[in-house]
Amino acid sequence: MNDKRIRKIVIVGGGTAGWMAAAPLAQKLRPGGQSGCEIVLIESPDIGTIGVGEATLPTIRYYNLALGLEGADFVKKTQATFKLGIEFRDWGHLGNRFFHGFGDFGPAIDNRPAYMHWLRLLRTQGGGALPPYEDWSTATVMARQNRFTPPQGEQPSAANAYSFAYHFDAGLYAAYLRDYAMQRGASRVEGTVVDVELRSTNGFVTSVKLADGRRIEGDLFIDCSGFRGLLIEGVMQAGYDDWSDLLPCNSALAVPSERVGPLTPYTRSTAKASGWQWRIPLQHRTGNGHVYCSGYTSDEDAQRVLLEGLDSKALAEPRQLRFTTGRRRKSWVKNVVALGLAAGFLEPLESTSIQLIMDGVGRLIQNFPDRDFHPTHAAEFNRKVLSQYESIRDFIVMHYKLTRRTDSAFWRYCAAMPIPERLQHQIELFRHTGRVAVLDPEGFLEPSLVSIMMGLGVTPERYDPMVDLIDEVALKTHFARLRAAIAQTVQSMPDHAQYIARHAQAE
Ligand code: FAD
C-alpha cells in the first residue's frame, strides 16, 4: 500500500456541502477500516447554515443511488416532493409563461432533434394549426396536470421518456446524510475554527484550532464553511471573480408558507420588478423566496413583493440573505479544496448549487491525491470547476438577457447588458439557424437551451434543411401519434400528492 496515502480528512462546515462531501467519502474510504483514513467534520454551534436549497436537478438521484439511499425512505425523511422542471412566469414579458421540463421534446427523427422537425412544420404551415412544442415534452404535460409517477420500465417508450428531480427540506437532507456518514465511521466535532496552522516549508494547512483550544490535524482539508470561505479565501487567498455585472441580484428573502393544494410537481419562478420569486412545494410546507437586486429596490419593498406573491399564509418572518455572485478563482489550493458556497455562488434560478457540490465531490474522488498533492490534481479539478461555473452562469444570464420587459430599470439593465461572446454566439446561432451550441457537456444540454430560448420568445428564423428530407405527411402522422400517446400516458398517471402518499407509505 502507498505509504503516502491521506490519513485524515478534515471537513470544515456541516451545511449541505459538508455532509454531501462526508457521505460519499465515508462510503468509499470506510474510516477505521482498511484505508486507514479518518474523516472528521467540524461544525460551529454558533454559525448557522444557510438553510435554503430545496430544489434540485435530476442528477441528485444518481448521487443518492450511488450511496444506496432508497427512494421511498429519502422522500419520507426529507419531506420531499417530485420535480419535473420549472414553470417560468413573466420572464419574457408580463403574462409570458413557459415550462423548462426535464427531458426532450420527443425522440430524435433521422438523427435530428424533434424540435427541429417541429420548427419545419411551424415554418411551412405558418404555425396556425400546429400545437405548441411543449405538447411533446412529457414532463411538461405531466406538470400541467399535477401528475407524477417515475418513468416505467427499463427502456421507457417515447411517451415515457422524461426525467425528474426532487424538492426537499435542506436541513433534513443534511441530517439524513450526517446519519449516513456517521454510521460509516465519519466523526463530528462541534466547535468554531478560530485559527489555522500552516507548514512553514510549503504553506500547507497542518491543523485548525477551535475556540476552546482544541487542535485538529489533517492531511486534506475540505472547506465547506459557506460564503466566508474560511480556508480557501481566509488562508489560501484564492481570489474571487465577481460576476455581479452579469447577474446583478445580490439579496434574497426566504420564507416558508403553509402547504396548499394541489401539490405541484415543479418549481415556480415568477419574474418581479427587480428580481424573481421562487415557490417550491414540499410535503409539510411551501418554500418561497424573493431574489432581488438591492440597487433597484429596498429591502422593505422586496419583502412586500415577496409576501404579496405568496399563495398561502407565511409561517415565519422572512429571512434575509446577501450574496455576491461569482466563483472562487481556484477551488483547490495546496491541500485545501472548497465545496459549496465556499467555492462560489450562482443564484438558484436553475437549482444548480447542490449539483455543483455533487459534481465537486465526484471530481475530488476522481482526482483523489496522496500526501504529495501533485499539483496536477488541483489543476485538473480547477479546470473543470471553472468551466462548469461559466457554463451555468451563461445559461442563467440567458434568462435575463432575453427578456423583452421594459417596465422597470432592472429589466432594462438586463436587456441591455453586454454578455460574454460565447453566450452571444449561442443565442445568435439559435436565432438564425435553429441550431444549439452546447458549450460544456457538464452544463445544460440542448433541450434545456431550447426550452429557455423558445420560452422567452426566440423563434428561429430557419431550420436545419436536412429535415426537409423526411416526408411531411409521415412526419405529421408521427407527431400526431406521439402527442396522443403522451396525452394518454399522462392521463393514466396518478396525481402527484397521491403518488407521494403511496410512495412514502411503501416502507
Ligand atoms: P452553509 O450552509 O453556509 O454551511 C456552512 C457551515 O460552515 C455551517 O455548518 C457553519 O457552522 C460552518 N462554519 C462556518 N464557519 C465556521 C467556523 N469558523 N468554524 C466551524 N464551522 C464553521 N441550492 C440548490 O441547489 N437549490 C436551491 O433551490 C437553492 N436555493 C438557494 C436560495 C438562496 C437564497 C441561497 C442563498 C442559496 C440557495 N441554494 C440552492 C444554495 C444552497 O443553499 C447551498 O449551496 C447549500 O446550502 C450549501 O451551503 P454550504 O454547506 O456551502 O454553506
How many CA atoms, within 13 angstroms, populate the side-chain half-sphere of residue 395? 31
Instruction: Ligand 1 pocket test: pick from 10, 40, 52 the residue with the most ligand atoms within 8 Å of its Cβ.
Output: 52
**Span 270-279, mean pLDDT?**
98
Distances (CA, A) of 10 to 181, 221, 349, 368: 13, 5, 31, 14
The arrangement of strands across the sheet holding 344-345 comes to 240-242, 326-328, 344-345
Which sequence spans correspond to the domains of the chain?
Answer: 8-54+169-244+325-373, 103-162+392-491
Q: Which residues line ligand 1 (CB under 6 A)?
A: 12-18, 42-44, 47, 49-50, 52-56, 170, 192-193, 224-226, 228, 230, 252, 254, 289, 321, 323, 340-342, 348, 351, 353-354
Q: For residue 2, what pLDDT is reported? A: 65
Counting other chains too, the contacts that 298-305 makes at CB distance below 8 Å and 24 or more residues apart are 299/251, 299/253, 301/274, 302/251, 302/253, 302/274, 302/275, 303/253, 305/272, 305/273, 305/277
Q: For residue 35, what pLDDT is reported? A: 76
How many CA atoms, within 13 angstroms, populate the side-chain half-sphere of residue 211? 9
Distance 282 CA to ligand 1 centre (A): 19
Q: Model's pTM, two decimal places? A: 0.96
Does 410 have pLDDT greater than 90?
A: yes
Chain segment 432-464, per-residue pLDDT in tens: 999 998 778 888 999 999 999 999 999 999 999
Compute, in degrees rounded to 10, the torsion defined by CA atoms 101, 103, 109, 110. Answer: 130
Give the atom of ligand 1 at the shortest distance from the alpha carbon of 254: 34
Beta-carbon contacts of residue 325 (< 8 Å; ≥ 6 apart): 242, 243, 244, 246, 247, 249, 250, 345, 346, 347, 393
Q: For residue 507, what pLDDT is reported? A: 42
Distance 12 CA to ligand 1 centre (A): 12
Chain segment 42-72, per-residue pLDDT in tens: 999 999 999 887 999 999 999 999 999 988 9
Q: For residue 440, what pLDDT is reported? A: 81
Q: What is the CA radius of gyration of the chain?
A: 24
Catalytic residues, by residue number, are 83
**Of 363, 253, 246, 365, nearest to 308 (Cα)?**
253
Q: Nearest C-alpha to atom 45 of ligand 1 is from which residue?
A: 353
**Of 450, 427, 421, 341, nearest to 389 (Cα)?**
341
Local confidence band at 413 (pLDDT 50, 70, 90 cut-offs): very high
Question: ipTM of the assembly?
Answer: 0.99
Is the CB of residue 165 less than 8 Å from the CB of residue 64? no
Instruction: Ligand 1 pocket test: pick from 42, 47, 54 the residue with the most ligand atoms within 8 Å of its Cβ.
Output: 47
**Span 302-320, mean pLDDT?**
97
Give the atom of ligand 1 at the shortest distance from the alpha carbon of 351: 26
Distance 342 CA to ligand 1 centre (A): 8
Give the atom of ligand 1 at the shortest distance from the alpha carbon of 45: 11
CATH architecture of 8-54+169-244+325-373: 3-Layer(bba) Sandwich (3.50)
- Supply the mean pLDDT for the chain: 95
Is the CB of residue 150 less than 8 Å from the CB of residue 506? no
For residue 152 the three cell numbers come to 416505467
Chain segment 458-481, per-residue pLDDT in tens: 999 999 999 999 999 999 999 999
Chain segment 110-157, per-residue pLDDT in tens: 999 999 999 999 998 876 789 999 999 999 999 999 999 999 877 778
Least confident of 155-164, 335-344, 366-375, 496-505: 155-164
Does 505 have pLDDT greater than 70?
A: no
Distance 51 CA to ligand 1 centre (A): 6
**Of 497, 394, 371, nearest to 442 (Cα)?**
394
Give the atom of ligand 1 at the shortest distance from the alpha carbon of 14: 9
The rounded distance, in Å, linking the Cα atoms of 227 and 216 is: 22
Local confidence band at 159 (pLDDT 50, 70, 90 cut-offs): confident
Q: Any bridge partners for residue 328, and if so which?
A: 240
Is the CB of residue 444 less than 8 Å from the CB of residue 351? no
- 403's enclosing H/E stretch is none
Distance 15 CA to ligand 1 centre (A): 5
Chain segment 340-368, per-residue pLDDT in tens: 999 999 999 999 999 999 999 999 999 99
Is the CB of residue 381 less than 8 Å from the CB of residue 363? yes
- 48's enclosing H/E stretch is none
Is the CB of residue 435 less than 8 Å from the CB of residue 464? yes
Q: What are phi and psi of 97, to 5 degrees?
A: -140, 130
